[in-house]
């Protein structure tokens, strides 16, 4: 069995991740086999295991890549913002919109227990922990920058708590179908209002005269 050059390995791994993302999104984890992933890439099923230990690891890596791309979108959107309010609006608003575009991330929040039963829980939990760490390493500097430039409530908070608020927006987005089911307001309207309330609350002056 011939070996792969580093460049070939990188290309094949990227193809496997891209094909897997498409298949997991369309058919789900359980209905996607390793062979389904390897055939479009043009490698044997056995060769797959030279890149990933298991289908669970592949799925975990796909989720990590989804989250990394989400963070990159947020960084790009915040980069040109100047005022603290604009930075925070873009941080929260972009996170919410980008999360909504990613079915795999949505599904991981809609049916977490079902997902854990289907996927090797250790591989998934390790990936999620890695994702949280990378997410914090990249976004904490943005939060601290806003804190340094603001005299509002956000300046008093642990910056990690501010990032946890983004997780709260994820849970809201994941349950957006309930808005139509229960006849609530338009989700997009709620989403914008929720972000505005968060921003204004975090930047509000909490000092007492």
Q: What is the CATH number of the domain that holds 101?
A: 1.10.357.10
What tens digit of pLDDT does each residue of 24-41 get?
999 998 899 999 999 999
**Do 83 and 150 share a domain, yes or no?**
yes
- The mean pLDDT value for 175-187 works out to 78
**Do 71 and 147 share a domain, yes or no?**
yes
Percentage, residues of the chain above pLDDT 90:
58
What tens digit of pLDDT does each residue of 57-98 get?
899 899 989 999 999 999 999 999 999 999 999 999 999 999
The radius of gyration of the chain from alpha carbons, rounded to an integer in Å, stands at 20
**Do 122 and 176 share a domain, yes or no?**
yes
**Do 97 and 8 share a domain, yes or no?**
no
Q: In total, how many domains does the chain have?
A: 2
Residue 4 structural domain: 1-52
**Do 117 and 176 share a domain, yes or no?**
yes
**Do 17 and 94 share a domain, yes or no?**
no
Q: In angstroms, rounded to a whole number, what is the distance separating the alpha carbons of residues 70 and 168?
A: 16
Residue 18 exposed, middle or buried by CB count within 10 Å (0-12, 13-18, 19+): middle
**Do 39 and 72 share a domain, yes or no?**
no
What tens digit of pLDDT does each residue of 112-170 get?
666 666 776 677 777 778 778 888 999 999 999 999 999 999 999 999 999 998 888 88
Asked if the structure places residue 208 within a domain, the reply is no
């Amino acid at each position: 069995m011939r070996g792969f050059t580093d460049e070939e390995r990188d290309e094949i791994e990227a193809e496997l991740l891209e094909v897997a993302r498409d298949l997991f999104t369309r058919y789900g984890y359980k209905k996607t086999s390793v062979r389904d992933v390897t055939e479009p890439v043009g490698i044997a099923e056995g060769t797959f295991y030279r890149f990933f230990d298991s289908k669970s690891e592949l799925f975990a890596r796909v989720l990590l890549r989804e989250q990394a791309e989400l963070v990159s979108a947020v960084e790009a959107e915040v980069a040109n913002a100047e005022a603290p309010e604009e930075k925070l609006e873009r941080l929260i608003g972009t996170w919410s919109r980008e999360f909504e575009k990613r079915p795999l991330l949505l599904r991981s929040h809609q049916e977490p227990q079902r997902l854990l039963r289907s996927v090797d829980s250790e591989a998934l939990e390790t990936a999620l922990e890695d994702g949280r760490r990378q997410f914090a390493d990249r976004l904490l500097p943005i939060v601290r920058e806003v804190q340094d430039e603001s005299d509002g409530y956000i300046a008093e908070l642990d910056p990690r708590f501010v990032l946890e608020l983004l997780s709260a927006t994820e849970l809201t987005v994941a349950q957006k179908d309930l808005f139509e089911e229960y006849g609530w307001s338009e989700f997009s309207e709620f989403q914008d209002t929720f972000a505005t309330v968060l921003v204004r609350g975090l930047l509000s002056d909490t000092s007492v005269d």
